[in-house]
Structure 1
Amino acid sequence: MRIVIIEDEIFAAEALQKIILELRPDTKIMARLASIEEAVAWFGSNEMPQLIFCDIHLSDGSSFEIFKEIEIKSPVIFTTAYNEYAIEAFKVNSVDYLLKPLKKEEILKAIEKYEELKQDKLSEELQNLQNLLQTQMGSNSGNNTKSRFMVKSGQSIKTISSKDVAYFQAEEGIVLLVNFKGNRFAVNYTLDQLENQLDHKTFFRANRQLIVNIRAVKEVHPYFKGRLQLKLDPASEKDHIISSSKASAFKEWLDL
């Protein structure tokens, strides 16, 4: 198998190469590239690899610029320390999307996924992902209210209807979608963006960390200084407080 690694951190690139060669000793690492400029030049004058491992954040910008500059047909496994690029990654020839720090077992699963996907099946899966993206974008054209969200679940992407979302919760720089089964998925939106895209009859921006579905409000308790405390279903690990300035609007939303 011929592989190219695009990674601007030398130690990270060396560690990834070591793991790949441990997992697949017959692999040829064709190149280790550290920037958009270097990658565009290399792909413009060399044979395409069978697989690319590509970090999203490079020293001179986002690696997505590489795929805008030059046509690359090789499948890609993206790596990043951030999770907000999952949807954009699947617009390219993405087989998988791995969050740093990379784990050997996750790299193995990604390689096995690539190996299991024969070229025709790979093309079919990528086309299905692109169709799903187009369907989602089309469903929102001319309408600010989102009806569904795409999330990464294991090795695949699934859609979740807005009506199945209990709440969105910001947590350590990540926005999580929590459905009514209590499952949590990272989404590629900020709470500010979601506030403008959700049905305000169904969802309420409770505070800077929470947008809640009316069906997920289990109990409301008076709190200090005119504030309100929410109990959610499914339960949240955090206590969610509504400020006194929002309390009246929240009660009106609940039709209390």
Structure 2
Amino acid sequence: MKILIIEDEAFAANAIEKMISDLRPQTQILDKIESVEEAVEWFNTHSFPDLIFCDIHLSDGSSFEIFRQVEVKSPVIFTTAYNEYALEAFKVNSIDYLLKPIDKHELEKAVKKYEELNKDHISRELENLSNLLRNTVSDSGKTSKSRFMVKSGQTIRTISSEEIAYFLAEEGVVLLVTPEGKRFVVNYTLDQLEDLLDPKNFFRANRQLITRIDAIKEVSPYFKGRLHLSLNPELKTDQIVSSNKASAFKEWLDL
């Protein structure tokens, strides 16, 4: 069996590869891909694998974009932290899904499910998947990332978007900051996060900050039409919304 892994978080991709190798030693991992762009290029230059493990949210956007650009002819097992409603839909209409953090026993069940499917059934599932992708994309053509995997010491945990106060670019890294002030490094740029996050709840205030609406304590006028933000948790540096973004920011706050 030849498998392709599409996953932008290196430790998650490596974990999937190790679990597959443990469960099916004869399996060949063809490649590990991190982005939509790389995946589209890969499919256009390689034969299709027997099976694909695919995260929904990649470094440069939703993996749904892959399926819109390429007629993928391989069954897919999604690895995702998607909301429960969508998970139920994937359970019915796709080959299978795995909720992060991925459990080895659940992965084995998903692989067994694939192995027991006949070609006609897989074709029907792929057609259902295509319909599902069209129905789960928002009006803007994008989906919103609902959870993030972070390292906490020697463990890995997930943090839902509701548990995030803001994302802060600081000293060359991007930090996920919770309302309690806990900080976790994430493997995304603010530009990537701006594309992945729900615009109803998150706003790119400036080059260093994407804030969740619940984290804003106070907004006050600043020089030359700009706005000053007071956040929870507080930051030592002033957070300013430029005059060019001030109108959009007020509209976002529904002022």
Q: What's the TM-score, normalizing by structure 1?
A: 0.48
- Larger Cα Rg: Structure 1 or Structure 2? 1
